[in-house]
Amino acid sequence: MVDMDADWPLPRPINFFKESRRPADSPTPDADSIASTFSSLAAPVVAEAVRRARELSTNCDAEGFHQLRVAFRKLRALYWAYSPYLGEEATAHATEEFKRLAAVAGGTRDWDIAGDLLKAAQASRASMGILVAAAKEKRAQAVAHSQTMIKCDDVESFLNDVLLRAQMQLESSCNDLPIRDFAEDRVRRAERALKKRSRYASRNETAHEEDLHDVRKAGKKLRYLLEFFQPVIKGGHDRTIKELTSVQNKLGLFNDIAASETLIRSASFDDVPPEVVQESLQWLEKQKCRRMRAAARRVRTIAG
């Protein structure tokens, strides 16, 4: 992973992307260029990320961590869309940091999900209570880690700087290029990537976890791009977004269990008997197999 602090010192906030709304008399997106549309799409996502980062110091609500992670994922998708004009190096620098910040924010969310699953297991296995308590402690540690690693001023400074650099690059290379053809091309590429991933995951009767995870990521990218570019691309895409959301929900249920199983396997629980941990893993494995079959069926519909 690139060391952003070493290779790209962060300046003080310049407030270029402060929370704001598009003026009522501003041009509609379909009249804008590739360069001007970038800032209008990025600004609300940046504002959301900064707001959520600010709230972390006083609020450890699960939804806050989740929405912060989503904001960074959306920025990664947006950078992928504009990467032909931003360049490989600039895109890699930004997206690696988006990915790191999303992972830090996601640690708390992951323990929230694992804790909820263990509580469900506890309903039929009273011995699981000690592991539920241990997961709650792990969640508290994840909150402390996130609060230490994600400082609002640093996040705002980084986002202001990296997006201003992107804006300047776009204005110098494609300020007069219309947005529609570009947006439609990037969406088509994301659609082809999702179809390819889905067909690959469906090649065997038994799906693999990694392949389903790749389909989930490709589906998220496409959904985010459709949400970003819907005002400027031809045809209504509400139905496609709705279908993608449904598929994502099904894949998400499977991913939650698979990720929780990995999380518990990799964690150390000093005060939890090994047999209790093993019992939880056996329960999660059964749930995972059931969810995997349901997820694989949805993926086959995409592949077809």
Task: Give the tens place of pLDDT for each residue, 81-114.
Answer: 999 999 999 999 999 999 999 999 999 989 999 9
Choose the weakest-confidence range: 10-24, 146-160, 248-262: 10-24
**Closest to 81 in 3D by CA, of 144, 148, 166:** 166
Q: Give residue-wise pLDDT tens across range 154-201.
A: 999 999 999 999 999 999 988 888 899 999 999 999 999 999 999 998
| Angle in degrees, CA 254, 113, 116, rounded to 5 | 105
CA distances from 2 to 97, 185, 188, 202 (A): 8, 29, 30, 34
Q: Is 87 left (phi over 0), alpha (psi -120 to 50) or beta?
A: left
* Region 203-220 average pLDDT: 86
Alpha carbons 250 and 290: distance in angstroms, whole number? 12
Name which of 167, 16, 172 is nearest 82 in CA terms. Answer: 167
Q: How many residues does the chain have?
A: 304
Banded pLDDT at 14 (limits 50, 70, 90): very low
Q: Are 96 and 1 in contact (CB under 8 A)?
A: yes
Q: Mean pLDDT for the chain?
A: 85
Residue ranges covered by each domain of the chain: 1-177, 178-304
The arithmetic mean of pLDDT across residues 215-243, rounded, is 89
The listed range with the strongest mean pLDDT (28-42, 45-59, 230-244) is: 45-59
Quote the percentage of the chain above a pLDDT of 70: 89
With a cut of 90, say whether residue 246 has pLDDT above it: no
Residue with tokens 């490989």: 88
Cβ–Cβ under 8 Å, residues 77 and 66: no
Is the pLDDT at 16 greater than 50? The verdict is no
Per-residue pLDDT at 2 exceeds 70? no
> Quick check: 9 pLDDT over 70?
no
CB 223 within 8 A of CB 241: yes
- CA 5 vs CA 1, 10, 11: distances in Å: 12, 7, 10
Give the angle subtended at the CA of 151 by the CAs of 149 and 154, to the nearest 5°: 110
Interval 262-302: pLDDT, tens: 999 999 998 899 999 999 999 999 999 888 888 888 888 88
Q: What is the DSSP string of 26-38?
A: SPPGGGSBHHHHH
For residues 58 and 56, give the distance between their C-alpha atoms in angstroms, rounded to a whole number: 5
Which of 121, 136, 137 lies closest to 276 in space, CA to CA? Answer: 121
pLDDT > 50? residue 12: no
